[in-house]
Copies of this chain bind each other. A is one copy, B any other.
C-alpha cells in the first residue's frame, strides 16, 4: 500500500476502500446449495445477507432475548474467512480444528486491512460467533445452520442428494445448535425434516 495515499486522504479512507474491495471475493466463494430457481450455486456473500434478515425476522423466537444488532453484525462477518479458506459443507466431518485456525488467520489478515478502530470490532464479532457462548452467538448459529435446511426443504433436498447426506446426519449436526439458539425453529424443522425423509429427499 502507498503510505502517502493513506495519509493524504485521512481517516483511513484508502485502507477502508481496499477492505471493501477485498470483501468482493466472498461473492466468488460458492456453497453447496443453489438459490431457488437458479442453476448456479449460492455464494457466501448473498447467504450472509439472507441470514441477517432471517435473524431479524426471527428474533422474537430466540431462546434467550438477544441484541439483534450484534446478531446481524456477527452474521454479516461470520463467513469472511472463507475468502482465504473456501466453503466447507457444514456436514463434513474432521479437520475442524485446522479449518478454524486457517479461518482465524484469514480474518486477522482481512480485518487487519482496516484501521484498528474499524477492524477490531469486526474481529470481536467474528470471535463471538466462533466461540458461540453468548445468547446472540447461539441464536446466530441457529439461523446460520437452519438456512440451508430451509433451502433444501424448498428444493427437494438438492444439496443433500447431490452430496449423499442422510436425514440422520443432518439432524445430528443441526438439532443441537438450533435447539440451543432458537427452539421454536427446531420444533418447526423437526416436523419438516421428517416429511422430507418420507419423501426421499436425502442422500445416502
Residues of A within 8 A of B (CB): 9-11, 13-14, 16-17, 19-21, 23-28, 35-38, 42-43, 45-46, 48-50, 52-54, 56-58, 60-61, 69, 72-73, 76-77, 114, 117-118, 121-122, 147, 150-151, 154, 184-185, 187-188
Q: How many copies does the complex hold?
A: 2
- Knowing that A13-B185, A60-B117 are A-B contacts, what are 20 other residue pairs whose CB atoms are under 8 Å apart, sorted by A's residue number? A11-B60, A11-B61, A11-B184, A13-B184, A16-B57, A16-B58, A19-B57, A20-B50, A23-B53, A24-B36, A24-B151, A25-B37, A27-B38, A28-B37, A43-B46, A46-B49, A48-B49, A49-B76, A56-B121, A56-B122
Please state if A24 and B50 are interface contacts (CB–CB under 8 Å). Answer: yes
The docked-state distance in angstroms from the alpha carbon of A180 to that of B135 is 38
**CB closest chain-B residue, reference A58:** B16
Please state if A61 and B13 are interface contacts (CB–CB under 8 Å). Answer: yes
The docked-state distance in angstroms from the alpha carbon of A154 to that of B56 is 33
Can you list 21 A-B contacts with CB-CB less than 8 angstroms, sorted by A residue number?
A: A9-B184, A11-B60, A11-B184, A13-B184, A13-B188, A14-B188, A16-B54, A17-B188, A21-B150, A24-B37, A27-B42, A28-B35, A45-B45, A45-B46, A46-B49, A52-B52, A56-B118, A56-B122, A60-B118, A69-B72, A72-B73
Q: Contacts of A122 on B, CB cut-off 8 Å?
A: 56
**Contact of A57 (CB < 8 Å), options: B10, B28, B118:** B118
**CB closest chain-B residue, reference A187:** B9
Q: How far is the CB of A114 from chain B (nearest CB, A)?
A: 6
The docked-state distance in angstroms from the alpha carbon of A45 to that of B49 is 6
Chain A to chain B: the 9 pairs with minimum beta-carbon distance, closest first: A49-B49, A45-B46, A27-B35, A69-B69, A46-B46, A24-B36, A13-B188, A27-B46, A45-B49
Q: Contacts of A187 on B, CB cut-off 8 Å?
A: 9
Please state if B184 and A54 are interface contacts (CB–CB under 8 Å). Answer: no
Q: Contacts of A26 on B, CB cut-off 8 Å?
A: 46, 49
